[in-house]
Structure 1
Amino acid sequence: MTTDDTITIRTATDDDWDAVALLDAHAFGEHQNSEDLAETQILTSSEHVVMAWDGDAPVGVAMHFPMSVTVPGGTQVEASGVSWVSVAPTHRRRGILRRMFTRQHEKLEKAGAPLSLLTASEATIYGRFGYGPATEEHSVVLDRRFAQFHKDVPPVTGVRLIESAEASTLLPDIYHRWQRRTAGAQPKPPIRWERFFADRENRRHGLTELFFIAHADGYVAYRRSPTESKIVVQEFIAVTDQAYAELWQVLAGVDLVDTIEVNQAPDEALPFLLTSNRLPKITAHHDALWCRVMDVEAALEARTYGVDAQFVLEIEDPFLNAGGTFDVTISEGRASVTRTEAAPDATMKLDVLSAMYFGTHSATRFAAASRLWARDPEALHTVDLAFSTDRASVMGWAF
């Protein structure tokens, strides 16, 4: 890779949005219509957009949405949602992404949010910038014709079929309650709820308009295929296990379809609600939310931990300034984190710490992959237990 000094990196202005849309269309293969572009401009502003220019030609863009996210233990932490990242195919391998990301993340560092988040179209791009995959999802197909729920599953008592107008008044509160208790989930902005219920044709991907099933503590929004005998779930949100079990029973009872397609966390209870745990078939396994810890002390003190312990972490940040050696002392599930010159109990790059932060990935797993080095097996086990969580983290909405 060569660095092209003829490329100008600058903050966007309000006159640059057509150029932003042009780059996005070529990068992701979808033209943004006027409504989509207007919604993005509500989520962010020109001052949060960094662009690369070759003379008068736009050749790169990266932006962020100010947001927050639930971390293990339920604390709401400020975060930057990095999005719309692309470099024009005419200008690859010139160092443009690194220059844009450096400008963008230096600004994010000064702004002070402890976490930066993104969703990655490719898995090989963002590790060098300190991002690690923080949540995972399974794509699951259930043949509902053979779904039998075991005899101790609570009966359906609180589920209703509702129209979009009623859904628009009920769902945001249910989602909010779920988000506040679910690590990895972000509050959904009002403009994204407006997009959701507008249910425009370009968001349907050849499927029907939305159908809604509601419980006081959960909901399912799904589409049906006009050409295949299937349901495609868009959102399945359950605040309680009772709501989860009831919603699945109703969804599996929808007639005139053979299969249900859904994305869900790896640890969900669906297989064991059924008499045959083999019936749900995992068809894909993929990452969802990616995280970069911007401020190690603030981020580690924000979440809770599985055991009380004391250990020293050495973190290498090859991109910016988040690295260092940190004493982590955990008491009653909360950590006090300070810089230290003590010998480390575990050493890793920032992308590994970021991937461990939400509890999805274990220190032991990274050690086995030669990406984390521990002083001894006991130290590794302690770090593993500390970062573990009782439920999988889940991304709230894709940005």
Structure 2
Amino acid sequence: MTTELRVLDPAEWDNWYAVLELAFGGVPESDEERKLWQELTEHERSIGAWDGDRCVGTAGAFSFRLSVPGGNVVPAAGVTMVSVAGTHRRRGILTSMMRRQLEDVRSWGEPLAILTASEPVIYGRFGYGAATYAVHTTIDTTRVRLTMPEGTDEVSLRVTTPTEALDATEAVYARLVTGRPGMLERRPGWERVAVLDPPADREGASPRMCVLAERDGEVVGYAHYAIKPDWSFAGSDGSVSVHQLAGLDPVAEAALWRFLCSVDLTARVKVRSRPVDDAWQHLVTDVRRCEPTLREILFVRLVDVGAALAARTYQTPVDVVFEVEDAFCPWNEGRWRLTGDASGASCVRTGEPADLSLSVRELGAAYLGGVSLLSLAAAGRVREVRAGALAAASVAFGSPVAPWLPHSF
């Protein structure tokens, strides 16, 4: 490979970002979007591949903090803006950028790298495992009704704009982060992503609106949504697209769902991404009419096995020795002894015999508690060496609530 990898110079951002835009279809973003992403780019954590004076590859890493089982919030590199120019494929550029990036993440002292993938088949070979899933659905509100929990009528609702309600909605979001694994603390500037609404992306829908759920004068939930009017010969056939929905308690969330499912002149509610254990599935009278679809959303990579496994807690007491394979980050290879429970954990190198054998990819998939080690073993991706170790570790790694990533990056 004749290309050079180097840290992104802010003066080269436009050139660098143009390579990324072309890789994702070449449709130019709005000035508002482009300006926001330029401001959010952490240049010292971004790299470019250069062939002479041409940028031919891009990769960045946001400095995030990710919630993990037990409520801790752990430093994590949010891998983003990855692309290779079509003229420079099959030259090892992506592999070299991924290796350089993980070495950098290790040097920054961050135990995790995370990403959302436009093409998920790519990242497994670099040690990333699919760790959170989301449900996409379309609720047919002409046929489906909702059953409300007690107290729903005590929640009042108020429609406003996402920008006007930003402080209140961000306060709600911040209170929810530690309660569900896979959520990201909002770093300064990221609150603007939550209200980004370029007209070109609306596809005939209204500007985004916000409905606030309030109880005793306090904001206890919110939803960002848009309405797309439509008509058929039989009458109104509009839809509601839900972009965000969050509540501090189940009753607040139920009140928001009832509002969204009863917007005038609409026949369906489209929801792009919700937790797999979300309560709406039990509020609706007929989940079949909602046609839920499952897809992976967040990939996790353990950059420092010992520090990552020690950073979370475990549902039940665990004492297990992992034989870890990690050819891409060889500092992780070997045996690690994990001991811990609901109050904390330790993970150190050991010479003791292994109980379970797996690659770092499987550890990443199981890390947030949404993918069981048992299911990975059934697919041949985890090998039990000591009888009984697999079931015990699988239970310990679980989470009482499903991990979920509320927004991409």
TM-score, normalising length: structure 2: 0.91
Structure 2 counterpart of 1:188, one-letter code: R
The alpha-carbon deviation at position 25 of structure 1 amounts to 1.2
Structure 2 counterpart of 1:335, one-letter code: A
- 1:241 and 2:250 equivalent? yes
The alpha-carbon deviation at position 41 of structure 1 amounts to 3.2
Pair 1:42–1:151, CA change in 2 (3 A):
closer
2:380 paired residue among 364, 370, 385: 370
- Residue 125 of structure 1: SS of its match in structure 2? helix
1:58 maps to 55
The alpha-carbon deviation at position 347 of structure 1 amounts to 0.9
Matched ranges for 1:61-140 at <5 A = 61-140=58-137
Higher deviation after alignment, 244-253 or 151-160? 151-160
Aligned residues: 394
Cα distance per residue 1:150-185 (max 9 Å; x no partner)? 375543321312211542231110111112322101
The alpha-carbon deviation at position 232 of structure 1 amounts to 0.9
- Residue 279 of structure 1: SS of its match in structure 2? helix
Pair 1:206–1:386, CA change in 2 (3 A):
same
Q: Does structure 2 retain, via aligned residues, the 8 Å contact 1:72–1:304?
A: yes
Higher deviation after alignment, 337-346 or 148-157? 148-157
Q: Does structure 2 retain, via aligned residues, the 8 Å contact 1:310–1:330?
A: yes
- What is the distance in 1 between the residues matched to 2:148 and 2:180? 29
Structure 2 counterpart of 1:243, one-letter code: A
1:167 maps to 165
2:15 maps to 19
1:307 maps to 316
Pair 1:9–1:76, CA change in 2 (3 A):
same
1:329 maps to 339
Q: Does structure 2 retain, via aligned residues, the 8 Å contact 1:229–1:256?
A: yes
The alpha-carbon deviation at position 208 of structure 1 amounts to 1.4
1:295 maps to 304
Structure 2 counterpart of 1:22, one-letter code: A
**Please, which runs of 5 or more residues in structure 2 have no aligned partner?**
214-218, 231-236
- What is the distance in 1 between the residues matched to 2:102 and 2:283? 45
- Residue 126 of structure 1: SS of its match in structure 2? helix
- Residue 199 of structure 1: SS of its match in structure 2? coil
What RMSD, in angstroms, separates the aligned Cα atoms of the two structures?
1.8
- What is the distance in 2 between the residues matched to 1:356 and 1:137? 16
Cα distance per residue 1:319-376 (max 9 Å; x no partner)? 1122321111124442211110111111111111001000111111111111110124
2:359 maps to 349
2:205 paired residue among 201, 204, 207: 207
The alpha-carbon deviation at position 309 of structure 1 amounts to 2.3
- 1:361 and 2:371 equivalent? yes
1:224 maps to 227
- Residue 158 of structure 2: SS of its match in structure 1? strand
Pair 1:203–1:175, CA change in 2 (3 A):
farther
- What is the distance in 2 between the residues matched to 1:393 and 1:89? 35
Matched ranges for 1:128-207 at <5 A = 128-150=125-147, 152-164=149-161, 165-197=163-195, 199-207=197-205
Percent identical among aligned pairs is: 33
- What is the distance in 2 between the residues matched to 1:311 and 1:162? 52
Q: Does structure 1 retain, via aligned residues, the 8 Å contact 2:137–2:291?
A: yes
Pair 1:148–1:206, CA change in 2 (3 A):
closer
Structure 2 counterpart of 1:16, one-letter code: E
The alpha-carbon deviation at position 377 of structure 1 amounts to 4.8
2:277 paired residue among 263, 267, 271: 267
TM-score, normalising length: structure 1: 0.94
The alpha-carbon deviation at position 260 of structure 1 amounts to 0.5
The alpha-carbon deviation at position 145 of structure 1 amounts to 2.2
1:276 maps to 286
Structure 2 counterpart of 1:221, one-letter code: H
The alpha-carbon deviation at position 214 of structure 1 amounts to 1.3
